[in-house]
Amino acid sequence: MEAVSALIPEIIRSEVIAPPYWLRKLPARQIGLGKDLLVRLLFSCLVDADFLDTAAHFDGTGTPRVAPDTDMASLHSRFETRRRAYLKRKEPSPVDAVRSTVYEQALAAAEGNPGVYVLHVPTGGGKTLASAGFALRHAARHRLRRVVVAVPFISITEQNAEVYRDLLDPGEGEAGAPVVLEHHSSADLDGTGGASRWARLAAENWDAPMVVTTTVQLFQSLFANRPAAMRKLHRLAGAVIVLDEVQALPDRLLAPILSALRGLVEHFGASVVLASATQPEFWTLPELEGSPRHMVIDDVQGLFTELRRVKYTWRSDADLSWEEVADDIAGEPESQVLAVVNTTKDASVLHKCLVNLAGAGESGSAASAASMGDRLRTPGQPAVLHLSTRMTAEHRREVIELIRSRLAAGLRTFVVSTSLIEAGVDIDFPCVYRAMAPAESLQQAAGRCNRDGRNTQGRVVIFRPSEGGDPRGGSYDAAKSASERNFGPDLADPDDLAALSRYYTDRYAAQGTDGRAFGEEIQQLRRALDFPEVAREFRMIDDSYSQPVLVVRPEKSEEDRDRIEADIKQLRDPYPTGPEVLRRLQPHTASLPRHEVLKALSSGIAEPVVGDLVVWRGFYDAARGLDSERTEDPAAFLI
């Protein structure tokens, strides 16, 4: 300290620094939470400055690299100009007028004071553009520094980031730095076994005008205790934070999440947008009680009535087998049907049933994956396709693009998917089957049906498979039970807003009133300023259940396989070169239940890489992805 104070005398203070006024005025129960958030943001400023100063020292410049504040008004103007051109290029839709109204109301609401805003728009109502338009206008109006958009799934992050880059990044020949930073990671590389050297792989300081990330990345960083993860947090001060598909936030963490968001708004100059077609009743929880709620849309009920494009059919058979479900789907008069189920196992079983029902197909040994793909794109050739997290991100993207091309061409197409297709995936089927699930999932699945209003009325069939499974967890059980009490053939449909409000109240009440189901234990740790224990307890993803798996797909070219293997080898190197390696491997990452990963490791069909990340050496089905039980060639997925 003496050596430092000789250079910086002001580091030694004779007086005590008083805490901020707002902290002293908080109720006693809130003071600890206020201290927790304040310390986190101050620590973020400190460690980011340290990272930047260190980088400046070693690159020889001596000047930390900090981007100048962005002219958000100019950025909003660019967004408006390109948005109009973007809409002109799109094929007209019967719901375009409604989407335009939603957008105009969002811009009008953006003139309001900073706070917590609710963007309640039906699926297909133009939420992606409306939320960005609001955020940019609001930032310009109130001189906020950046926009942070967080979504629950990486696939939506990539989709939204691509749209925003087209609308905001400098075009070819235009001067200026990139605007949109896309930041996400599917692997925890700061796990046990000496992997802490990989903490910096995910380190970004979000020094960009617009950040598109995942809710996992956002909140896992907000409640972390590692410098590399926390250095971005001070960028949330004075930002517009858009939480898309907010219904996907886990109940078990709502207390810390909502209280932190409220703290950022009330004490650090942020605004928050809660965007969803199925808005949870967050204001019935203590963390938002008394906080103003600003509605972006004037008449939500009227908007839902105007945009209702489907009719619900309820199949209440208690003994409905997967074979019978497949038979019903194959017998639909519509030639394009999406079926959404609750688990990856259910998706695999139903997919096999639909393939077997057709009674045709070649084995993978008789036809390469590439030739299968050629036939799938052949006019007149029907297909049964599959989507789940057992497939790599790249594989899923390929299948989604194939689905879109087949739908556009009017080809006979059946798709079996887990819930990953429900939130934010812009896809439009005339008929959707959905296994019984929580109400928000039912409505989100319906959002993939007649999305653009091109049919008179889409058809959504809710069914109860006798052999169907469910995700694990008490909050899921409470949500599904509350759905069964509020929605059904003699009750309400999932897009009934009054019933949806009752459903959320019922769902929250069923989990108890002491707050333990919503993360009150974490709040107690925050009050005690126990940062390490908060980081251990706060887990957006239940890592006791799922684990990331790297896959080198057999159908890829030899050159591509060699490149992926080289990146995997580099991940194992004790001297990594940077986060770009992990980003390159992201498309080749799938997910498996942890017990399957442990079994695969013990049997030699998976190998550890770093942290909790493993590489798969077992069977990979060309249609369904990871399969730890099979070693033979996959069945064809053609009908």
pLDDT of residue 455: 77
Q: Is residue 201 scored above 70 in pLDDT?
A: no
How far apart, in whole angstroms, are the C-alpha atoms of residue 157 and residue 151?
6
Q: Is residue 185 scored above 80 in pLDDT?
A: no
Please identify which residue in the block is written with the tokens 């009743």.
281
Regarding predicted confidence, which is higher, 545 or 55?
A: 55
Q: At 393, is the secondary structure helix, strand, or coil?
A: helix
Cα–Cα separations (whole angstroms), residue 211 to 13, 304, 412, 426, 507? 38, 30, 39, 21, 33
Three-state SS for 105-155 is: HHHHHCCCCCCEEEEECCCCCCHHHHHHHHHHHHHHHHCCCEEEEEECCHH
The whole-number average pLDDT for the span 49-78 is 86
How far apart, in whole angstroms, are the C-alpha atoms of residue 557 and residue 562?
9
Strand order in the sheet with 589-593: 589-593, 546-551, 613-616, 606-610
Say which amino acid occupies 390: R
In contact, 151 and 163? CB cutoff 8 Å: no
Q: Is residue 582 scored above 90 in pLDDT?
A: no
How far apart, in whole angstroms, are the C-alpha atoms of residue 229 and residue 217?
9
Cross-strand bridge partners of residue 150: 213, 243
Sign for the pseudo-dihedral over CA of 114, 119, 124, 125: negative
Three-state SS for 464-509 is: CECCCCCCCCHHHHHHHHHHHHHECCCCECCCCHHHHHHHHHHHHH
Neighbours of 569 (CB within 10 A): 11
Structure tokens at 110: 């953006």
How far apart, in whole angstroms, are the C-alpha atoms of residue 61 and residue 265?
36
Cross-strand bridge partners of residue 273: 117, 242
pLDDT of residue 178: 84
pLDDT of residue 199: 30
pLDDT of residue 518: 95
How far apart, in whole angstroms, are the C-alpha atoms of residue 561 and residue 554?
8
Regarding predicted confidence, which is higher, 151 or 378?
A: 151
Sign for the pseudo-dihedral over CA of 487, 488, 494, 497: negative
Q: Is residue 379 scored above 70 in pLDDT?
A: no
Element (H, E) at 214: strand 210-214
Q: Is residue 632 scored above 80 in pLDDT?
A: no
Domains 1-90+101-170+177-185+199-307 and 310-510 share a fold: yes
How far apart, in whole angstroms, are the C-alpha atoms of residue 597 and residue 605?
9
Rg (CA), the chain: 25
How far apart, in whole angstroms, are the C-alpha atoms of residue 572 and residue 574?
6
In contact, 83 and 133? CB cutoff 8 Å: yes
Structure tokens at 621: 């089905």
Q: Is residue 11 scored above 90 in pLDDT?
A: no
In contact, 576 and 570? CB cutoff 8 Å: yes
What is the per-residue pLDDT across 591-624, written as a single tens digit (0 to 9) for each?
998 889 999 999 999 999 988 889 999 999 999 9
Q: Is residue 196 scored above 60 in pLDDT?
A: no
In contact, 435 and 469? CB cutoff 8 Å: no
- pTM for the whole structure: 0.86
In contact, 551 and 186? CB cutoff 8 Å: no
Cα–Cα separations (whole angstroms), residue 558 to 549, 561, 586? 20, 5, 19
What is the per-residue pLDDT across 308-332, written as a single tens digit (0 to 9) for each?
989 999 998 778 999 999 999 999 9
pLDDT of residue 174: 79
For residue 518, which phi and psi values (nearest 5 degrees)? -110, 10
CATH architecture of 310-510: 3-Layer(aba) Sandwich (3.40)
Of 11-15, 54-58, 154-158, 386-390, which has the strongest mean pLDDT? 386-390
Neighbours of 115 (CB within 10 A): 16
Give residue 381's pLDDT band: very low, low, confident or very high (50, 70, 90).
low
Write down the mean pLDDT value for the chain.
86
For residue 216, which phi and psi values (nearest 5 degrees)? -60, -50
What is the per-residue pLDDT across 472-491, written as a single tens digit (0 to 9) for each?
888 899 999 999 999 999 99
What is the per-residue pLDDT across 489-512, written as a single tens digit (0 to 9) for each?
999 999 999 999 999 999 999 998
pLDDT of residue 316: 81
How far apart, in whole angstroms, are the C-alpha atoms of residue 370 and residue 390?
20
In contact, 103 and 264? CB cutoff 8 Å: no
CATH architecture of 1-90+101-170+177-185+199-307: 3-Layer(aba) Sandwich (3.40)
Tell me which residue of 214, 463, 442, 161 sits closest to 321, measured CA to CA: 463
Q: Is residue 159 scored above 90 in pLDDT?
A: no
Look up residue 546 and give its DSSP letter.
Answer: E
pLDDT of residue 635: 38
pLDDT of residue 193: 36
Give residue 413's pLDDT band: very low, low, confident or very high (50, 70, 90).
very high
Q: Which residues of 245-264 are buried (b: 16+ CB within 10 A; e: fewer)?
A: bbbbbbbbbbbbbbbbbbbb
Q: Is residue 544 scored above 80 in pLDDT?
A: no
pLDDT of residue 170: 87
pLDDT of residue 630: 62
Q: Is residue 368 scored above 60 in pLDDT?
A: no
How far apart, in whole angstroms, are the C-alpha atoms of residue 118 and residue 262?
14
Strand order in the sheet with 413-417: 310-314, 458-463, 431-435, 336-340, 413-417, 383-387
Burial class (CB in 10 A: 0-12, 13-18, 19+), 442: buried
Burial class (CB in 10 A: 0-12, 13-18, 19+), 132: buried
How far apart, in whole angstroms, are the C-alpha atoms of residue 399 and residue 590?
14
90-99, 410-419, 427-436, 502-511: which range is least confident on average? 90-99
The whole-number average pLDDT for the span 534-549 is 84
User: Where in the chain are the domains?
Assistant: 1-90+101-170+177-185+199-307, 310-510, 546-626
The whole-number average pLDDT for the span 223-228 is 92
How far apart, in whole angstroms, are the C-alpha atoms of residue 71 and residue 145?
9
What is the per-residue pLDDT across 230-282, written as a single tens digit (0 to 9) for each?
999 999 999 999 999 999 999 999 999 999 999 999 999 999 999 999 999 99
pLDDT of residue 79: 96
Residue 325 backbone zone (phi > 0: left; psi -120 to 50: alpha; other: beta): alpha
pLDDT of residue 578: 58
pLDDT of residue 52: 87
